[in-house]
Structure 1
Amino acid sequence: MELVAGCYEQVLFGFAARPAESWTVVPDFTHHAHSASLSAVAVNSRYVVTGSRDETIQIYDMKKKIEHGALLQHNGTITCLEFYGTTHLLSGAEDGLICIWNTKRWECLKSIKAHKGHVTSLSIHPSGKLALSVGTDKTLRTWNLVEGRSAFIKNLKQNAHIIKWAPDGERYVTVKTNKVDIYKLDTASITGTITTEKRISSLRFVTDSILAIAGDDEIIRLYSCDSQKCLCEFKAHENRVKDIYSFEREGQHIIVTASSDGYIKMWNLNLNKIEGVPSLLCEVNTKARLTCLAVWLDRAPEMKENSDEAVTSSQANEDEKLSIVRKTKVFWTDKSDKTAKRKRKITPEKQKLEAPLIIPEKKKLETPLQKKKKKQNISA
């Protein structure tokens, strides 16, 4: 298990987290690939990807612990990144584009002009058939990923900066400043609203019906989506919380928080005693101003142990997924979409991630896009 976090100081941190009698966090690597602050991070079973204000997406192979390359498609700060399993990555940026990437060859299958303003957030339905996005044009847009087209546009009264599907895909939430609107999938109507005192900076589903919400303060609050009541709140940090991540491991519900105070903390949430304060498992001080957070879970050993049992039960699901992929490939790899393919680039350098907890001295670095332009000028 690896805790990965980005910061204003342009560094990606990696910390190996190991459960024992008490959880331990060991510095694993730091990497300085971007020339501006990191704005987004996403993980799947093999890769970690980061987005930055330098307009690039960097890819890290966590199995080999090397930098895998860079994706150049957006003209603007990368605002959101999300994987769908091991096959696709969706990225959104301030240029209003949503790009769909094949994670096998890392090519841009489709570049969609999603919003007239910035794309502020996106979320993929657990089925992989739908995605939602919100932007600064005050719209919520539903995307049909099977046919690769817009399915529905909903006008909002104000800009939303976060959107998130519940794990079961039965509901989704949008965040507008300090308000969380809860929608049901079948009716696409608001079933409840949660209002906080401070602007909401991050939100995560702990279960299908429980939300962990962080505002621009030190407090984490847990809410019920059904009753919209606050179930629990606790002081997590000494400064505002910037991001939350949650996952379940061996029956434990773990919440990971990152703050502007530089700390990453792991908490154990007991759902049977939800009103109680979660217990602190471990913490680590990065000494940096953190901006984004994710947890890379190496599921390979677990998958190997359960592979024989899983083959039969998952065959039907795999057939359905393959049919979806075939349909989407026909549309997303349309030969007429030459612009996306021309602008896509994987940098060939594959370098190992650096030793941990050393923030490099600030120096002027060229982005991959600047290097590309310089090479074109020289050849001309």
Structure 2
Amino acid sequence: MGDRVELVAGCYEQIVFGYRVCTSEKEWTAEPNFTHHAHTASLSAVASNDRFIATGSKDETIQLYDMSKKTEHGALLHHNGTISCLEFYGSSHLLSGGEDGLICVWSTKKWECLKAFKAHKGQVTSLSVHPSGKLALSVGTDKTLRTWNLIEGRSAFIKNIKQNADIVLWSPDGDKYAVVVNNRVDIYTMESAKIIGTIEFPKRISSLKFLKNTLLAVAGDDESVRVYDVTSQKCVCEFKAHENRIKAIESFTKDDFCVLVTASNDGFIKMWKLNLEDHETPSLLGQVNTTARLTCLSVWIPGEEKETAVEQPATSKTVAESPVPAKNKRVRITDKVIVEEETSSTKQGKKKKRQKVQ
């Protein structure tokens, strides 16, 4: 993997910023590396895997950027309305949720929509894929929390939560998940799907990040980040990070410590050195002023250097319009990755489909 890390942030001003993290003993700097202006409206979501950045916007498109070549890689057009959430599963799949209530599952090899299902009656506000790749959780403006069986492309469980939830997030071990409603985080256990604890935050919550399975960083409409012990729901660390509300938090591991990255409406992206054992107040490693109104953040870390054939996406909404699972296909799980097997009748039409997608 090496030491290369890039911070990627989107903003109201329609631009994606890329900054390369440069480390030294004295201070860390974030050097401007690229800007990407492919959207025609403000950005609402950004996600990354070991090669690509995907950005979602109010312009109804998902734009792709190939980080290995520093080039635009095309657009994914299937949603009607704002793209509200994006999440990669490994290097093989991208999941997207939108204002139209749809969740789409995209193959990153051919950039075609493998599945598109109506997930919520309102909009999808957040989704999270289980570490195994077998399940996904989603919340929407229909006051439900839904569990999706990604192997069969169908709903597995629906829970009414009486309020519209803003965020859903699996823990790294996949044994529990967090659901945010306004200024409250409910911690559920996967085993029983019941609430085992609740965290109360002073203001509306905008972002969550599991720093490890038992530690949760929370930020929102004030200047401070708070880190909570998930088991006791007690705040073990609190510090002022910005001069304005915090829009997004991310983290990565460097040497033997955790680096927490925060992005704010004040335009700053900041990197904080966090010790996950003693919970001391974090020290500021470095910062950069983007001078933009930031909305979303991702940390990009490259994978092993290998050239794999990746096709440009089709930019037509006609690709995979049918509800899923698609006809004549069955889905199985191999090495924790969702794959589709073709039946004999699909193979006959494979040539035609390939021409359409390329």
TM-score when scaled to structure 2? 0.86
Partner of 1:255: 260
One-letter code of the match for 1:217? D
- 202, 223, 239: which is aligned to 1:197? 202
SS, match of residue 338 in structure 2? helix
- Distance, in Å, in 1 between the alignment partners of 2:91 and 2:177 is 23
For residues 64-79 of structure 1, the aligned pairs below 5 Å read 64-79=69-84
Equivalents in 2 of 1:248, 1:60: separation in Å? 24
Separation in 2 of the partners of 1:299 and 1:265? Answer: 24
Residue 245 (structure 1) aligns with: 250
Moved >3 Å (runs of 4+): 322-326, 328-331
Quote the offset at 1:329 in angstroms.
4.5
For residue 290 of structure 2, the aligned residue among 270, 274, 286 is: 286
Contact residue 257 and residue 276 of structure 2 kept, 8 A: no
Q: CA RMSD in A?
A: 2.1
Residues 44-76 of structure 1, C-alpha deviation per residue, up to 9 Å, x if partnerless? 000000000000000000000000000000001
Q: 1:254 to 1:324 in 2, by over 3 A?
A: closer
**Residue in 2 aligned with 1:155?**
160
Q: What amino acid sits opposite 1:24 in the alignment?
A: T
SS in 1 for 2:334: helix
Alpha-carbon displacement from aligned partner over 1:266-324 (angstroms, at most 9, x marks no partner)? 011012320x21011100000000000001012326x9xxxxxxxxxxxxxxx973585
Query: Is residue 70–residue 345 contact of structure 1 (8 Å, CA) maintained in 2?
Result: no
The structure richer in strand per residue is 2
Q: Give me the whole-angstrom Cα distance separating, in 1, the residues matched to 2:278 and 2:176.
A: 25
Any idea what the Cα deviations from partners look like across 1:341-380, whole Å, max 9, x if unmatched?
89x978xxxxxxxxxxxxxxxxxxxxxxxxxxxxxxxxxx
Write out aligned runs for 1:170-189 (5 A): 170-189=175-194
Matched, 1:10 2:14: yes
Q: CA deviation at 1:251?
A: 2.1
Match of 1:325 among 320, 338, 355: 338
Distance 1:323 1:297, change over 3 A: closer
Paired letter, 1:88: H
Task: Tell me which protein shows more helix as a share of its residues.
Answer: 1
1:228–1:65 Cα change, 3 Å = same
Q: Secondary structure at the match of 2:40?
A: coil
Is the 8 Å Cα contact of residues 133 and 336 (structure 2) preserved in structure 1?
no
* Letter aligned with residue 140 of structure 2: G
Deviation of 1:154 after TM superposition, in Å, equals 0.5
Per-residue deviation, 1:148: 1.4
DSSP 3-state at the match of 2:277: helix
2-structure distance, mates of 1:129, 1:88: 12
Separation of aligned partners in 2, 1:51 and 1:247:
22
**Deviations 1:12-34 (CA, angstroms, capped at 9, x unpaired):** 00000022223221111111110
Unaligned runs of 5+ residues in structure 2 are 307-331, 348-352
Q: Distance in 1 between matches of 2:157 and 2:30?
A: 44
1:1-380 superposed matches below 5 A: 1-21=5-25, 22-274=27-279, 276-300=280-304, 321-322=334-335, 325-326=338-339, 328-329=340-341
Q: 1:63 to 1:226 in 2, by over 3 A?
A: same
Separation in structure 2 between the aligned mates of residue 97 and residue 251 of structure 1, nearest angstrom = 40
Determine the C-alpha separation between the residues in 1 that align with 2:216 and 2:155.
28
Q: Secondary structure at the match of 2:191?
A: coil
% identical aligned pairs: 64
TM-score, structure 1 normalization: 0.81
Q: Is the contact made by 1:98 and 1:114 (CA closer than 8 Å) also made in structure 2?
A: yes
- Asked whether the 8 Å contact 1:246–1:256 carries over to 2, the reply is yes
How far apart in 2 are the matches of 1:228 and 1:272? 16
Are 1:138 and 1:155, in contact at CA under 8 Å, matched by a contact in 2?
yes
Structure 1 CA distance for aligned equivalents of residues 128 and 13 of structure 2: 27
Partners of 1:198 and 1:295 in 2: CA distance: 25
